[in-house]
Amino acid sequence: MKWTRQIIIILSLLVFPATAFAAGQGEEEPLDVKTMLFEHIGDSYQWHITRIGDKDISVPLPVIVKSSTGWHCFLSSRLEEGPYEGLYLAEGGKYDGKIVEKDASGNEVRPFDISVTKNVLGLMINSLILVILVLGCSRWYRKHDALKEAPTGVASLMEPVIEMINDDVIKGSIPGKLGEKFAPYLLTVFFFVLINNLMGIIPIFPGGANITGNIAITFVLALFTFLAVNLFANRHYWKDIFWPDVPWWLKVPVPLIPFTEFIGIFTKPFALMIRLFANILAGHAIILSFVFIIFITVKMGPLVNGTMTVVSVLFGVFMDCIELLVAFIQAYVFTMLSAVFIGLAHEEPEAGKE
């Protein structure tokens, strides 16, 4: 009975937002799957919860912009009725869905925008969860002797994961005591990516924000790894890049290998950025695509629609389970590759070669 109740809850969480959305769709209104898909996985100035009838239930978020007339701060709900203080949401074009204003020539231009969007709020919430987990874990260790008693609560949840990442990934990739130096960064990256991945799977507020499926987020994470690798690298690392141990004709007069190694400095973090972004974005898109099958088949009759509804829900639940695994794997892979790149930047030369 316990597992039955849990399965029913999962099915309800998956289907309810979709059913509420369908209730608000007119019978003659065609469903633009592409537009709806990108609206769900994209960023916005409000956090859409669901739709009941013809009414959208959403959380308006603060708009903070500096336009040609100065700073403006108001809730995004002000823009639903049209232009507000000379600002409005662009429809179509390169600024589609963004806040714009018109210049003296009548052209749409973007003001300086630091608004709290859906992804920004989601990032704040997920970061707060991470801080609470870390502080809860540290609080237990401050009050208890870990050598005499087993951890409980948050500490019991965090300790095995921390030990796994620290012992298997960090110590296995970064030589000597350098692992202790980079452990705080790498553990933070792991739990940050993991929590954002898991929260992105939850279909109801405050989950559902596509944080790690946003390339701006993965770019910043990859940038931190890039800085950690290249700012603290040893002399041998740079020698292997600009004067590697290869035949001289591969280095002069045409620096073929040094050029290739130099490009590798940037392609490694670029691969980190794209891998995390693409995997998380694809997972969200696949789950939403299964849900949209319900509405695409509405006009094919109750038999076809009912059958495809069952199929789409079952595959949706299956993909949610797969995404739970992917959430952990992607956090693990990002951390592991970051640790490997940092470790390679601190390799010592073989005896007699330098």
What mean pLDDT is predicted for residues 256-285?
Answer: 89
SS (H, E, C) 43-80: CCCEEEEEEECCEEEEEECEEEEEECCEEEEEEHHHHH
Q: Model pTM?
A: 0.82
Type and span of the H or E element at 151: none
Q: Which residues pair with 46 in a beta bridge?
A: 60
Single-letter amino acid, residue 311: V
pLDDT at 73: 92
Q: What is the CA radius of gyration of the chain?
A: 25
3-state DSSP assignment of residue 47: strand
pLDDT band at 11 (very low <50, low <70, confident <90, very high): very low
pLDDT in tens, 60-95: 899 999 988 889 998 988 888 788 888 888 887 788
Q: How far apart are CA 82 and CA 88, in angstroms?
A: 6
97 torsion bin: left (phi>0), alpha (psi -120 to 50), beta (else): left
Q: What is the dihedral of CA 30, 34, 38, 40, to 10 degrees?
A: 50
pLDDT at 34: 67
Q: Decide which of 194 and 296 is more confident.
A: 194
Q: Quick check: 172 pLDDT over 90?
A: no
> Look-up: residue for tokens 């009414």?
55
pLDDT at 318: 83
pLDDT band at 32 (very low <50, low <70, confident <90, very high): low
Other C-beta atoms within 10 Å of 68: how many?
11
Q: 13-22, 184-193, 296-305: which range is least confident on average?
A: 13-22
pLDDT at 178: 84
